[in-house]
Amino acid sequence: MKAMILAAGRGERLRPLTDHTPKPLLMAGGKPLIQHTLEALAANGFSDIVVNLAWRGAQIREFLGDGARFGVHVDYSEEGDEALETGGGIRKALPLLGPGPFLAVNGDIATDYPFRNLRRGPESLLHLVLVPNPPQHPQGDFALRSRALFPTGAACYTFSGIGVYRPELFAPLAEGRFPLGPLLRETMQKGAATGELYRGFWLDVGTRDRLRTFDEYLNQTSHTPAHPGESS
């Protein structure tokens, strides 16, 4: 199974840090964010990685290269000057992701989720990892009942930015800029989406405060910064 790191966004909430440095290259624990994710994927058995690029993408390409020094192979999906949003970014990358299910991970999250658990592929069109609602998102995103996902419900959890998808979910759609959320909800309404709840470490590194929190986590805990996606 291939994996995709979504790394094309500009990171508006992290400005001015991202004015000259792409969000995936911001530092935490002495390493760029994207390196933590890449090493976690490699440690969990993912060796073929696709990275989408837009804002300051040349810097990411220069840092990662072909991925060999991280023990993986990296391909790039170029989106131009303006990111295509998550849905459009995945759609454009389909030729690089191949015919089978693939893992997609937001480039601005930090987690110790064991990615190897997802290598078996989804039971339906998509499988999402949900987490307990963080303070900045108390309403959650989706409801989960016996591994089935629903757009609404009495108790909703937050989408972690980790999902496994079948390419046929995106293939019928025209290329271009579009968000992922509406497609997820439509698939849930059709009963073709599963999910799970993960209660381990997870952080949306979308603001300077939360970037600082991740840096402190790496420096003050016993977790090994090189592999924040391994099982502990």
pLDDT in tens, 189-226: 999 999 999 999 999 988 888 988 988 899 886 444 44
Query: CB of 40 within 8 A of CB of 229?
Result: yes
The CATH number linked to 58 is 3.90.550.10
Domains identified in the chain, total number = 1
Residue 232 lies in a domain: no
Checking if the pLDDT of 229 tops 60, the result is no
- pLDDT bin (cut points 50, 70, 90) of residue 81 is confident
Q: What is the mean pLDDT of the chain?
A: 90
Six-digit token pair at 52? 């989408």
Query: CB of 51 within 8 A of CB of 90?
Result: no
Residues 144-191: tens digit of each pLDDT: 998 999 999 878 999 999 999 999 999 999 999 999 999 999 999 999
Six-digit token pair at 180? 């992922």
Query: CB of 203 within 8 A of CB of 110?
Result: yes
CA distance 20 to 88: 24
pLDDT of residue 211: 87
> In terms of residue numbers, what domain contains 204?
2-220
Residue 74 lies in a domain: yes
Residue 199 lies in a domain: yes
Checking if the pLDDT of 232 tops 90, the result is no
Residue 227 lies in a domain: no
Query: CB of 43 within 8 A of CB of 53?
Result: no
pLDDT of residue 119: 87
- Between the alpha carbon of residue 185 and those of residues 19, 150, 151, 189, 219, the distances in Å are 33, 7, 5, 6, 38
Residue 225 lies in a domain: no
pLDDT of residue 11: 60
pLDDT of residue 36: 94
- pLDDT bin (cut points 50, 70, 90) of residue 17 is low
pTM: 0.91
